[in-house]
Amino acid sequence: MFGSCLENVRNTTPLVHNITNYVTVNDVANVLLACGASPIMSDEPEDVEDIVSICKGLNINIGTLNKRTIEAMFVAGKRASALGHPLLLDPVGAGASALRTSTALSLLNTLRFSIIRGNISEIKTLALGSGTTKGVDADAADTVTEENLDVMVAFAKDFAKKNHAVTAITGAIDLVADSETCYVIRNGRPEMSKITGTGCQLSAIMTAYAVANPKNLLEASAAAVCLMGLAGELAFDRLLEGEGNSTYRNRIIDAVCHLDAAALEKGARYEIR
């Protein structure tokens, strides 16, 4: 299943429009090429309607948002929705500033996202911000651990249900859920957190996987998360003595480049709850 998700990307070269931050944008472009997709970046409000129309999916990342790019996110998002394209929201820093929180919530309330991907802190901010501070949301912890897994799986499913979107909460343990099913994924390496942008890269890959697998959004999203984690593992195994986070960054993208269906199927480590 995951293998065919990967092959569908490589066989169709989905063109993904990214409105993303300038910190990690080069890595986002290269990892999209590495996974078999094709990137376009555009964040001028007057440009994005045309660009989104020639693409097949839209990845919105608020990492270095400004007023111009926020406007572009809404313009592009509306057009992408009208075209029926998969939309992904990466709410970078939601909770860290009022502007980020309100922008992420406003995007969430205005557009219909196919996928939302963030860390637990960002997703909790969105969950609380959308009105309810009770029940499952308030029970959500600040990290996903083996001990609180049941609660967090329920939180992920609930968030996915309320937002009608596949929800990916990534961290040491990754959760990828729709309202009914949650993949609990244990790929990846802790050293990935010492590289800027692995989350941004994953969001871009997930958008490409959604485009290429429109009828299997949950599985495709989980496949993308396993792919990125597995790439982190393979790249770590290839690090030589003295190599650090900069070379590790390159080797992860290289690993995405070489991963095929069989390797993904073999290396994916997950359970379904």
**Which residues would be at the binding site for its own copies (CB under 8 A)?**
21-27, 29-30, 33-34, 39-44, 46-47, 50-51, 54, 63-68, 93, 96-100, 194-197, 238, 242-247, 249-258
Read off the tokens for 216: 């299997």
Q: b/e per residue, 9-24, with b = 16+ CB within 10 A?
A: beeeebbbbbbbbeeb
Nearer to its own copies, 46 or 271 (CB): 46
**Cβ at position 158, least distance to its own copies in Å:** 28
> Cβ closer to its own copies: 167 or 207?
207
CA dist 115 and 90 (Å) reads 9
* Pair 29, 41: CB distance under 8 Å: yes
Question: DSSP states of 185-220 as a string?
Answer: E----GGGGGSTTHHHHHHHHHHHHHHH-TT-HHHH
What is the smallest separation between the CB atom of 83 and its own copies, expressed in angstroms? 15
Cα(245)–Cα(241) distance, integer angstroms: 12
Cβ-Cβ contacts under 8 Å for 44 (sequence gap 6 or more):
68, 72
- Supply the minimum distance, in Å, between the C-beta of residue 17 and its own copies: 10
Our CB check for its own copies shows the closer of 97 and 145 to be: 97
Return the bridge partners of 183, or none.
Answer: 176, 272
Q: What would the two tokens of residue 105 be?
A: 């919530």
CB of 155 to its own copies, least distance (A): 24
Nearer of residues 30 and 203 to its own copies, judged by Cβ: 30
Between 42 and 59, whose beta carbon lies closer to its own copies?
Answer: 42
Measured from the CB of residue 200, what is the shortest distance to its own copies in angstroms? 11
